[in-house]
């Protein structure tokens, strides 16, 4: 169980997990109106998100240097910037302006992602207590509640600009918690030199990439699928990402209990199959109930995949290499967080949104049948050594 002492020890990065969940949940719930506001087709909208994703991945490489410059101010500064960054794309009236605005959002989010995961991993190592599932669960809870709230605000006639401005002000409470960061900044030299096995980092990074790709693709396009493909309204559309976020929160908060009875590899393999089944359900849905059920099943399954991979790597590298390993698999894995929505847009442009969700289901099956066995082989080699 997570104790109050654990939460206090990690409250600064936990506040940042809540910030990221809040702003991305709000964005997902407003994809239909923002897409219409800039007059973009599925393909153009996907291309805009893809271009923005390059900024995020590039920013992740500079995260250790940024953390070295800002020290204990890294988390509050990045959380503050991200809290208001989505105001910029909400003002856009054309795809180019939207793309530039999203670059501001993804660059700040990408840097913050690396630092806050490294901070949580450091607290785990120092206290010898599992916290990664809880941290990612907090992200999902904030995401789901934010999507639900924003859906209601959309129904009430609030514009994206007003919504993001209100969330920016609300985020100041979380920034205050982030100011309590007393963690050690990432050491740039340590991040450049690690004794972790390259193969382990690549495979774990690919697991996280696929999990985040499916997660963010569903978050970004589920509302549009419900509203456009199934004829739902704004509040009904927002229920898609809200259900995903809330079931992911439930899965992550309870995920650590599974590891007490089963290995991380077994949990990864089963969870990937479950999430793939949810994606296929959403793809085949002809009504709201089946679509909602698919998003819920997908959320429960995919919820534990990335946190389990982070924890697995953290346990199989040395203390000196841990920060470096977390930073490197974050760079690989979080690429999926940003490329998922663009891939959905490209597939939807040619074959429809239902096919896009089916493609995500196939990708998730790769975790079970290819990547999980490869991680197990790394685990076996490490025990043999």
Which is higher by pLDDT, 339 or 232? 232
Query: Within a 10 A sphere around the Cβ of 85, how many other Cβ atoms?
Result: 22
Domain 4-384: which topology?
Growth Hormone; Chain: A; (1.20.1250)
Structure tokens, 31: 């994809």
Q: Residue 347: pLDDT band by 50, 70, 90 thresholds? A: confident
Residue 194 has pLDDT above 60, yes or no: no
Mean pLDDT of the chain: 83
Give the confidence band of 190 by pLDDT, cuts at 50, 70, 90: very low
**CA atoms of 123 and 147, how far apart (whole Å):** 29
Indicate the length of the chain as a whole number: 385
Between 73 and 341, the more confident residue is 73
**Cα angle 43, 45, 46; round to 5:** 65
Q: By C-alpha distance, which of 178, 167, 187, 188 is closest to 75? A: 178
**Residue 181's pLDDT is what?**
63
> Per-residue pLDDT for 361 more than 90?
yes
Measured distance CA(361)–CA(342) in Å, rounded: 16
C-alpha separations of 92 from 152, 160, 168, 219, 291 in Å: 22, 10, 18, 21, 30
Quickly state the pLDDT bin for 100 (edges 50, 70, 90): very high
Quick one: which of 67, 71, 147, 149 has its CA closest to 114? 67
**pLDDT tens digit sequence for 204-254:** 999 999 998 888 778 778 888 888 888 888 788 888 888 888 898 888 888
Contacts of 28 (CB under 8 A, 6+ apart): 143, 147, 219, 220, 222, 223, 241
If 0-12 CB within 10 Å is exposed, 13-18 middle and 19+ buried, where does residue 164 land? Answer: buried
Query: Domain coordinates of the chain in residue numbers?
Result: 4-384
């Amino acid at each position: 169980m997570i104790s109050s002492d654990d939460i206090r020890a990690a409250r600064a990065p936990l506040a940042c997990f809540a910030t990221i969940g809040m702003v991305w949940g709000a964005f997902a719930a407003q994809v239909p109106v923002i897409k219409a506001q800039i007059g973009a087709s599925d393909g153009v909208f996907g291309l805009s998100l893809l271009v923005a994703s390059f900024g995020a991945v590039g920013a992740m490489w500079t995260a250790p240097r940024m953390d070295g410059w800002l020290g204990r101010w890294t988390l509050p500064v990045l959380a503050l910037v991200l809290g208001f960054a989505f105001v910029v794309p909400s003002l856009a009236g054309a795809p180019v302006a939207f793309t530039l605005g999203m670059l501001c959002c993804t660059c700040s989010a990408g840097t913050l992602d690396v630092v806050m995961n490294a901070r949580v991993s450091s607290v785990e190592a120092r206290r010898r207590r599992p916290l990664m599932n809880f941290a990612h669960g907090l992200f999902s809870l904030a995401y789901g509640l934010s999507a639900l709230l924003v859906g209601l605000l959309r129904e009430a006639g609030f514009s994206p600009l007003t919504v993001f401005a209100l969330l920016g002000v609300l985020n100041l409470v979380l920034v205050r918690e982030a100011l309590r960061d007393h963690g050690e900044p990432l050491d740039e030299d340590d991040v450049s030199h690690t004794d972790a096995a390259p193969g382990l980092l690549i495979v774990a990074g690919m697991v996280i990439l696929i999990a985040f790709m499916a997660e963010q693709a569903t978050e970004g396009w589920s509302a549009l699928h419900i509203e456009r493909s199934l004829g739902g309204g704004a509040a009904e559309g927002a229920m898609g990402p809200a259900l995903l976020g809330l079931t992911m929160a439930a899965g992550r908060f309870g995920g650590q209990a599974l590891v007490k009875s089963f290995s991380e590899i077994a949990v990864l393999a089963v969870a990937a199959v479950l999430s793939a089944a949810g994606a296929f359900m959403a793809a085949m849905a002809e009504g709201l109930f089946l679509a909602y059920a698919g998003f819920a099943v997908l959320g429960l399954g995919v919820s534990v995949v990335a946190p389990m991979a982070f924890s697995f790597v953290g346990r199989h590298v040395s203390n000196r290499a841990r920060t470096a390993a977390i930073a490197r698999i974050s760079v690989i894995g979080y690429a999926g967080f940003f490329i998922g929505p663009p891939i959905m847009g490209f597939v939807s442009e040619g074959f429809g949104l239902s096919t896009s969700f089916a493609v995500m289901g196939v990708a998730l099956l790769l975790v079970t049948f290819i990547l999980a066995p490869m991680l197990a082989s790394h685990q076996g080699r490490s025990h043999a050594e």
